Structure 1
Amino acid sequence: MKNAEATKARILEAAMEEFSSYGIAGARVDRIAKNAGCNKNMIYIYFENKETLFTTVLLNNLTRVYEEPFTPDDLPGYAARVFDFAMSNPDLFRLMAWYALEQKAVNLTDRASVQQKKINQLMNAQSAGQVGMTFTPGFLLTAIMVLATAWTPTNPFGPSYDPDALKTPNETREAIAKAISLLTKGEESISN
């Protein structure tokens, strides 16, 4: 049984590289099998088809993102942690870019439920006065994720508009945290 698990792990690792480079449509099962050091049929035995393999790779990697504690009482800190995660996992963000382009092939209901939970937490934090009411919870969550991941290699804006930002990642992380802090304050706090 250990050999089967080791083979699956090698397939998933090779598939991550293949899918993050080529997406679902461009990925080749032959290359995945070759890079995993296994027979192509093993991929179909373990994962049925290329789309299921892509979904498995994406969900396994998104689980790492979901494990990052979401803290409505420290949204700037959360944004800084997401920035650090994004900078150290460029393959995952390329994979997510491919998912966004080809999402009709993959259904990620778990992702939607995690996002809704975060939105509900933000709504509760707004009701409790911990987070300003200027922006909707959905807008705030979007802004946090967009700012925190703006400098990933697949983003067309951060790296091209501000190429020097990654030369000083600590300053960029602090700027992101400060921006999120300003976004999450109430209008009355900003005007004072």
Structure 2
Amino acid sequence: MPAYAGRVHDYFTAYPERFRLMNWGRLELAHGTPPDPNHPIQAALLHKTEQLRDAQKTGHLDPAWDPVDILMFVNQLAMSWAGQTDLVPTDETQRAPFLSARRAAIVAAVQRLFPASTA
């Protein structure tokens, strides 16, 4: 989970326009409709929650958490800085170290929230 969060952070801070498009696309999803496994976004979410559920069943992840909550919490942490472009330095000499420190904080937070099982 921590490595996944780091990759998501890296992707969306490198491509903030894709983060904005994704958020705009969420506005287009019909509210209150059941998940459609044929819809690409919903299918990806269903697949990821099943992977988390499998990790719980095999003892790699704490089963006390609902997989949907794990996925949402990790994604929100990972994407938190992509939506804060006004707080990220624009000067490249400051930007890279700033984002590196934010990435480390995200990875650490995910490790603490969802530690790998020692079983």
TM-score (norm 1): 0.49
Letter in 2 for 1:149: M
Letter in 1 for 2:112: L
Letter in 1 for 2:48: K
| 2:10 equivalent to 1:89 | no
Structure 2 stretches lacking a partner, 5+ long: 31-35, 90-94
Shift of 1:103: 3.0
Instruction: Summarize the alignment of residues 167-186 of structure 1 with structure 2, pairs less than 5 Å apart.
Output: 168-185=98-115
Letter in 1 for 2:55: A
Instruction: Summarize the alignment of residues 1-192 of structure 1 with structure 2, pairs less than 5 Å apart.
Output: 75-104=1-30, 109-152=39-82, 155=83, 158=84, 163=87, 168-185=98-115
Higher relative contact order (CA 8 A, sep 6+): 2
Aligned positions, number: 106
TM-score (norm 2): 0.75
CA distance in 1, matches of 2:29, 2:60: 35
CA distance in 2, matches of 1:173, 1:85: 11
RMSD after superposition: 2.6
Question: Structure 2 vs 1, CA of residues 116 and 177 (structure 1 numbering), >3 Å: closer, same or farther?
Answer: same
